Amino acid sequence: MLEALRKEVCELHAELTRWNLVTWTAGNISARDPATGLVVIKPSGIRYEHLTPDKMVIVDLDGAILEGDLKASSDTASHLYIYRHRPDVNGVVHTHSRYATAFAALGRAIPCVTTGMSDEFGGPIPCGGFALIGGEEIGKIVVETLKDSHSPSCLLQNHGVFATGPTAEAAVKAAVMTEDNAATVWIALQMGTPVPISDENIARLHYRYTNIYGQQEGE
């Protein structure tokens, strides 16, 4: 079932190690198949280099395992909560990437103080509250934290990053950009107080990046 999506989700996990966003077995990715609504997710606690498409687990939106010999990711219920409450989201990524998680350990949002961050996130990367791992509590916090934000990703206090996207690849990109910006802002904070960008300029930068930058469809 869902052979192409299994392969895609498996290959995207290799991006997390390539970009140094995860250590050992931490982190996970899932993707929702828009046609069937089924979700492909990483098996729990398997080392990244041992992941293969056939080891991915397929679940329905209520968490019933439809295919897979291995236990699904510990964060499955939270990924599914996000999919049930965000019809626009078809990819979810979780990491403990270093700089972003340092902000999360302080319960601090990452302030939007570069044009690159304005482009990608349209404002700060917010930080939600604390939740234990294993149920859908994390998913609830992610949905609530992203509700009034342009950002596709958020931090979870004392935990790490949850990134979302219209596809799993877009969610991986958001996770990569979250860490990249967290590192830049952290360095800036060591040197002094970052210069703020006005809300109006952040909005203009975000608009240009979203609607004009790169190769737009139909051009």
Binding of ligand 13P by 44 (CB under 6 A)? yes
Taking a C-beta distance cutoff of 8 angstroms, is the pair 2, 38 a contact? yes
Binding of ligand 13P by 28 (CB under 6 A)? yes
Binding mask 131-150 for ligand 13P (x = CB under 6 A): --x-----------------
As a whole number of angstroms, the distance between CA 96 and CA 94 comes to 7
Q: Which residues contact 156 (CB under 8 A, 6 or more apart)?
A: 104, 127, 128, 129, 130, 131, 138, 141, 142, 162
Q: How many residues bind ligand 13P (CB under 6 A)?
A: 12
Span from 7-15, 70-78, 120-128, 145-153 in contact with ligand 13P (CB under 6 A):
70-78
Q: Which residues contact 84 (CB under 8 A, 6 or more apart)?
A: 61
Nearest approach in angstroms of CB 37 to ligand 13P is 21
HSE-up of 127 (CA within 13 Å, CB side)?
19
Binding of ligand 13P by 90 (CB under 6 A)? no
Binding of ligand 13P by 73 (CB under 6 A)? yes
Span from 4-12, 37-45, 173-181, 205-213 in contact with ligand 13P (CB under 6 A):
37-45
The H or E element that residue 201 is part of is helix 199-211
If the CB atoms of residues 125 and 131 are measured against ligand 13P, the closer one turns out to be 131
